[in-house]
A and B are shown apart, each in its own frame.
Chain A
């Protein structure tokens, strides 16, 4: 591998490297750097809540109050979207939100792998959400769940067309949900890497280059701040859309 080319190749950061290979029944189940960072994400999020809530003071410490803020933020988000019936999904929504948020934020560290920049990860999360919506909706409401696809007040003639459109619209939800998170993270990290690469290649060109490298360096700093915002915002968007889709499962069409 060419080390110098790796430094400026903006895609290189998304490479999957096998840490130790594993094959079960013909499936490649190798433990990759992506799996490693998923484990790290879970451990970091879990440790954060374990240690921040271990004090349980009446007057919360900084760690405890940040954990409480996250809890109350998610709880009020879910309650606003799905009502008090939706609160049974709170553990799920909170887990998804914390996983995505922690993964996005960990991805901002240099040399860290961003698991949410791979569409299969975000798509698996989105399919989990939609799967829960469909399964719970069918379990709770039976065929009444399909009223979701039949808007009221539509003439019989137009009904097949409208139902088709609504079904496609429903099926497009996991795709738009996953593509949005994935593409935001991918685009942000590529942009960051490109500007950082400019700094490296410009500063290799002598004194003038070093002077010129200040501009992309400033840009890289600014984009890092923007990426911090995007990381939090996309986790929020993912969680709030999860809440809204769960609301459809809790109360379809009435």
Chain B
């Protein structure tokens, strides 16, 4: 897939910013003593509330907390470094789907807490989820990222050498 310069610029920027967001959130959660998602999970609303409350129950909360923070960091690494970005993007999509469904901004459900904006069905979690979908199918790691070292594409010097 070839991109125009502006396409490459904005796709890479999107990848770096989304990765930045994930990595920073994950690191803060890992480094903050006593951080827990229990409040978020136990106040879950909507049709899947039972599932999130189960994840937030006393017996599971430690696992839920560790998985959340570690997954955020790993997704952040893939996107910022530009390697295995498709897998990272899909993992990120799954996490954002969880965040979205635990507190869906649907009419009739009360908000979990004060929000910084106003949302009707679509909120920032959903927007970022779609953005990660774009990143999964428009990769840039082979242009600007660690994939540069691994990905061999037609026309690269290595292949020329084989022909030579």
A and B from one complex: no
